[in-house]
Amino acid sequence: MICFVIEDETNILHGIVDVLTHQKYVDISVKGFTCGADLLDYEITEKPDVIFTDIVMPNLSGLDLISKLKESNICKNFVIISGYDKFNYAQKAIRLGVLDYLLKPFKPSEVVDVIRRVYKNMNKVKELKKSRSLPNLPFLSFHYPKNTNSFSYNQIINYLEMNYNTDISLSKISEKIFYHPSYISQLINHYTGKNFSYLIDYFRLHKAAEMLIFEPRRSISQISLLVGYRCERRMYQAFQNRLHMTPIEFKTRYMPKSKLEKSDL
């Protein structure tokens, strides 16, 4: 498990890091930051499973940090640590979907309890993913290499995995990880045998296919936006180009009948 802690009071930061490092429930890697800006500047090679963050910090508040990280799909589990028992803070934290709100001073057992819950939820998600097998279609069965001996390629792939559902392009990736667009394109082609647009469509359509089959209440329009297409028409074009069928045809053909009856085509 990977955990980040953001806290501008160094004694509290070190205390939380120490509790997490020495708990016996799960193997964990912990990284501490004294402000949100340091985390945003940090080169994230693996997504954290949970982030603990203070609310009141210089330059960037914990709530604003959570919003930014959620937009970038960096992490799904956030825990607020605060010395302020204010309703408006708690209200916004709830809207952001934070996992817990720990008021200072809190007990070490409260921190460990959060880790237990995140770990249990991670196992549930893994089991859910195992049960979400997609049809054996050539495009959906494509496998790209991961963890190669090329740091640059690994960095590009990690960035794509975390940001495919945003308005992404070679030039925007270049601005973030400081490689020339042509170099990024060459690395992708060298290691995957595919071009950039193919890889982006793979990430997006793989997720869209899961939603179409296993989340029957979601509309085509909603799914298209969630996976990164600007409009429904773009996802239709991608489905027809890569899978040679429309999203509705895919849903009708591959969704179990029991779920199809409850879906909104």
Q: What is the DSSP string of 163-199?
A: HTTSS--HHHHHHHH---HHHHHHHHHHHHSS-HHHH
More confident residue, 93 or 68: 68
CA-closest candidate to residue 69, choices 94, 90, 50, 92:
50
71-80 average pLDDT score: 82
| 258 pLDDT tier (thresholds 50, 70, 90) | low
164-173 average pLDDT score: 90
- pLDDT given for residue 36 in this prediction: 86
- pLDDT given for residue 13 in this prediction: 92
- pLDDT given for residue 80 in this prediction: 87
- pLDDT given for residue 87 in this prediction: 62
38-52 average pLDDT score: 85
240-259 average pLDDT score: 87
- pLDDT given for residue 142 in this prediction: 93
Average pLDDT, the chain: 86
My answer on whether omega of the bond before 256 falls inside 30° of 0, hence cis, is no
- pLDDT given for residue 30 in this prediction: 93
Q: With contact defined as beta carbons under 8 Å apart, do 62 and 34 qualify?
A: no
Measured from the Cβ of residue 131, the count of other Cβ atoms closer than 10 Å reads: 7
Predicted confidence (pLDDT) at residue 264 exceeds the cutoff of 70: no
Q: Percent of the chain, pLDDT > 90?
A: 42
CA-closest candidate to residue 184, choices 163, 172, 170, 194:
170
119-154 pLDDT tens trace: 888 887 777 767 678 899 999 999 999 878 888 898
Is this structure's pTM higher than 0.95?
Answer: no
Predicted confidence (pLDDT) at residue 224 exceeds the cutoff of 90: yes
Predicted confidence (pLDDT) at residue 34 exceeds the cutoff of 70: yes
Q: Which position has the token pair 């559902």?
A: 165
| 162 pLDDT tier (thresholds 50, 70, 90) | confident
Q: Would you give the DSSP letter of residue 124?
A: H
- pLDDT given for residue 86 in this prediction: 66
